[in-house]
Amino acid sequence: MTIDVADRRPEPRVDNQDPALFGQTPSQTVGPFFHYGLPWKGGADLVGQSDMGARPELFPEAHYVLNQSSPTGTPVGAVIELTGRVLDGQGAPVPDAMIEIWQADAAGRYAGEPGSDPHFVGFGRAATAEDGSYRFRTILPGAIGAGHAPHVALSVFGRGLIKRLATRLYFDGQAGNEADPVLSAVPVERRATLIATASGDGVWTLDIALQGERETVFFDL
């Protein structure tokens, strides 16, 4: 018996479709050239409709195909700014990193949970600037339950980062920091790497050190 030429198929290989290899797809770096593909204008503004978050100056305007944030309404809560710099092991700024945030609304509910603020998406994305800085406009999250301190989950991506680095940002002086189940799992001498400090006008600052003496605590998720 012969197989019709139109029905012939290449021999299967050891690849993505091999059942023997089925398991988590491994992580790879975003590389240095993600700016026209990931951080959209407004991605770093969870409150209003500004252009924060993108780096459109890094590619021709005709090739901006990402979202332009559209009006949705103002979320409930105290408006704050989260800012800081991403630094490498030699203390040099990292200009080709990207930060994502995920946080609860002012009442401590995540988007999609019953009763959550319909005007708050809780997710944001910001490319770092040439000086390694990131900046988000958001609202102060509520505690997600008794015993938890208000916090923002952070993901760090970048050239040289084969895997996403996950961490949290806490707020200096907030009630509950001492009892928080995640913060209290961090060795005392390294906790400061997760605690943003207030600099007035609702601005909270936290540098992210990828490596070195004050290396940020990253989580095994």
* Subset of residues 12 to 51 that bind Fe ion, contact rule: CB under 5 A: 31
* Length, in residues, of the chain: 221
- Position 121 contacts another protein (CB under 8 A): yes
Instruction: Name the minimum Å distance from CB 127 to Fe ion.
Output: 16
Instruction: Name the minimum Å distance from CB 31 to Fe ion.
Output: 4
- Position 217 contacts another protein (CB under 8 A): yes
Instruction: Name the minimum Å distance from CB 33 to another protein.
Output: 4
- DSSP for 36-95, written as a single string: TTS--BTTTBSSS---TT--GGGS-GGG--S-B-----PPSS-EEEEEEEEE-TTS-B-T
Cα angle 169-174-176, degrees, rounded to a multiple of 5: 95
- Position 107 contacts another protein (CB under 8 A): no
From Fe ion, another protein, none, which one binds at residue 118 (CB under 5 to 8 Å depending on kind)? none
Q: Which of 47, 99, 153, 196 binds another protein (CB under 8 A)?
A: 153
Instruction: Name the minimum Å distance from CB 23 to another protein.
Output: 5
The SS3 call for residue 185 is: helix
User: CA torsion 141→144→146→150, rounded to 10°?
Assistant: -30
From Fe ion, another protein, none, which one binds at residue 119 (CB under 5 to 8 Å depending on kind)? none
Q: What would the x/- binding string for another protein be over residues 78 to 97, using CB under 8 A?
A: ----------xxx-x-x---
CA 28/CA 50 separation, integer angstroms: 31
